[in-house]
Amino acid sequence: MLLQLTYASRPFGYDSAMLTGILFDARRCNARDGVTGALICRNDLFLQLLEGPEAAVAATYARIRADDRHIEVRQLTSRMIADDARMFGAWAMRDDPAASWVWTRDEVDAGVPDRASEAEVLEMFRRLPATDPPA
């Protein structure tokens, strides 16, 4: 069994260099630790799904909570999944700029991500276009 965890946060000091740094760190650490996942990102929202061995995901989430590039970090979902049920098994960290189907800025400001059901949160990740990781 693996842990699948989602969280939302607000970026602090968001720009392309900051995002590149986050993705570089995530891909390096996640590949090392057997963690996979996806990050939906824009300047007012990070929405991330992590999946992997329970201890590794917990350690990754603890690093994220301590990272000053995120503020208002809050866990949205946490569940155990089968080893073969990863949503992003080929990705150390898939990234996607939040498109129009993700909550609006007003909805984020009003706390909609915090009130979303597990199914609603996971649907955000299921909507990501299917692509292969870069070689």
Q: Which CATH number fits domain 2-126: 3.10.105.10, 3.40.50.150, 3.40.50.620, 3.30.70.100?
A: 3.30.70.100
In this structure, of 2-11, 59-68, 119-128, the range with the lowest mean pLDDT score is: 119-128
Domain range list for the chain: 2-126
Tokens at 3, concatenated: 């842990």
Question: Amino acid identity of 97?
Answer: P
Average pLDDT over the chain reads 89
Alpha-carbon gap, residue 58 to 63, rounded angstroms: 9
Instruction: Read off the pLDDT of residues 35-79 as tens digits, 9 standing for 90 and up.
Output: 999 998 888 889 999 999 999 999 999 999 999 988 999 999 999
Q: What pTM did the predictor assign? A: 0.88
Q: What is the pLDDT of residue 59?
A: 97
Token pair 């059901």 is at which residue?
A: 117
The DSSP secondary structure of 39-74, one letter per residue, reads: EEEETTEEEEEEEE-HHHHHHHHHHHHH-TTEEEEE
Q: What is the pLDDT of residue 119?
A: 93
